[in-house]
Structure formats: structure tokens, C-alpha cells
Amino acid sequence: MQTYSVRDVERVLRLSRSTIRGLIDVGFVTPSRGARREYRFSFQDLIVLRAASALIQANVPRRRIRRSLEELRRHLPETVPLSGLSISAVGEQVVVRDGASHWQVDSGQYVLGLDVSVENGVLRVVERSFEPAAGPQSSDAPPGDALSAEDWFNEGLDLEDSDPRAAIKAYERTVELESDNVAAWINWGRLLHASGKARDAEKVYRRAIDQCGKDSVLMFNLGVLLEDLGRTEPALEAYQAAISDDPNLADGHYNLARLYESLGKPQHAIRHFGQYRRLLASETR
């Protein structure tokens, strides 16, 4: 059965690492562990995480959310069906559709819409709003100028593996339309870095900081890039900013410890190694 990493969850669901950890801490999901004790999420976990995040934002009481998610999980398949999956809710009923079959899940009064599909091997989870039908729509895809920031972002996700250059263009269009879309900035910079364009990636990350602030994942990725460029001190500053935004970012503490050790600062290294181990130990409980 296919599983997904924390980075996959960040990329597909557009949730921050701190939000993911928070949803794990309160028991909404219980991911498995990989060979290195890292979190591995099932398809069901991804849907539950997205639903939990939406319900929290809608100010639904925690007890009600937990009951709703438990019921939802019982009705979800273990893997995304080839026909796709639609989860929607209006009023007091949640309706799950899998191809031609459908069933209802009692989950209280809230509105939630998710479309789940696999295209070119990439899992997509897209939230839909419930609006009155606007009449017949053309079967042709809308022109580029008519696409929303979310459309461009999802296009980037779909193209990352098959056409990274086109994915970069899609993320660039995303932030033109939605300048505070930190996930698009992060993915844009990451793809540039992976393609060997480190200087361009740094420019993207710096622009992202101006638009979105010092997000933990953004600063962590910038730290990795600066390390690759041999700029140790700025990398340290980036990692410090990352753990300042998310003190539970274990990878940030690990990289700080490693850098401090290389700089001959054992006391700093020991402190961050200790925090890294404590975070890992707390995750295994």
C-alpha cells in the first residue's frame, strides 16, 4: 500500500508542518513509521487530515470533529480508487461517492467538499465550494488567463514529475495571482534548487519571505540551499528562523546540531541534538 511522507502532505494538502504535527498530537490521525522512524501517511490519513483542518477552521467543536472523522475513516477505501473519490457535505449528511456507488456519513452540520484523484501518478486533493450551478459549461479547459491561483497550483503539482520546467511556470503564475501562497513559493524554489539553479532558487525564497514571512518550511529549505552554496552562517540563521516559527521542527534542530558540530561549537550542537532526540522520542509515544 502506498504511503506518503510529511513533505508529500505539505505539498498535496498545503498544510504547514506545524499544523500536521498538531493534528497528530490531538489524535486525529495516527501515521505509521518508516525505516528511519519518520512519519508515513496512508491515503485515509491524507483525507482525514484535510477534513480535520477544514473543520477546525470552521470552528466545529473538537469532540464533534473527532466523532465525524472516526465515522468518515470507516467509510473510506484504503487507497484512492481509479475512478476518483468525491467527499461532500451539506447540512447534516456527508456523502462519499466512489464511481457509481455512494453512501452517506453522519458528521454533523458543516459544509466540506473534497475531490480526490490520481493523475500521472500524482495524488490530488482539492477542496470544492458548494455554489449554485451556473449553467452549461464548455468541455474545453479554460484559457490560461481564466485559471485561478488554485488551478495553477494544482497544475504545478501535476507537472512536477513529468515536466519540472512547466511546473515552475505554473507556480510562478500562482504567486502572481496569490502572492501569499507560501506553498507555491516553496515548491517553485525547491524545483529550481533541484534543477541546479541554486542562485535563482535563493532569489525565489527571499521574495517569498518578503511576501509570506519566515514560514518554517520556507526557512528550512532556504537553510538547505545555503548549505549547498557553502554559506554556513546564513544557513544557521535560516535554520534558527525555521525552529523559531516551529520549535518542534526536528529536522531543523538536527541540521543546526550538525552545523554547530562542524564549526567546533559542541555545546550548541549537544543542545540541538538533545532537542532532536526528545522530539523523536515524543513522536514515538
Segments making up each domain of the chain, as ranges: 6-127, 147-213, 214-285
Tally of CB atoms within 10 A around 141: 9
d(CA 105, CA 279): 36
Would the pLDDT of 195 be above 60? yes
Q: Which residues make beta-bridge pairs with 86?
A: 97, 115
Q: Does 214-285 match 6-127 at the fold level?
A: no
Cα 7 to Cα 18, 30, 38, 89, 215: the distances in Å are 12, 16, 11, 28, 14
CA distance 227 to 234: 8
Helix or strand (DSSP H, E) at 7: helix 6-13
Distance, in Å, from the CA atom of 231 to the CA atom of 214, rounded to the nearest integer, reads 19
> For position 134, what pLDDT does the model report?
37
**Lowest mean per-residue pLDDT among 79-93, 125-139, 172-186, 267-281:** 125-139
What is the pLDDT confidence band of residue 251, given thresholds at 50, 70 and 90? Answer: confident
pLDDT for position 279: 82
Query: Could you identify the residue written with the cell 484512492?
Result: 80
Between the ranges 66-70, 139-143, 207-211, where is the mean pLDDT highest?
207-211
Within its chain, how far is the Cα of 186 from the centroid? Answer: 11
- Statement: 6-127 belongs to CATH 1.20.1440: no
Instruction: Report the distance separating Cα 205 and Cα 154, nearest Å.
Output: 20
| Fold type of domain 214-285 | 1.25.40
- Residue 218 pLDDT level (bands cut at 50, 70, 90): very high
CATH number at 147-213 = 1.25.40.10
For the cut 90, the answer to whether the pLDDT of residue 37 exceeds it is: no
Asked whether the whole model's pTM tops 0.85, one would answer no
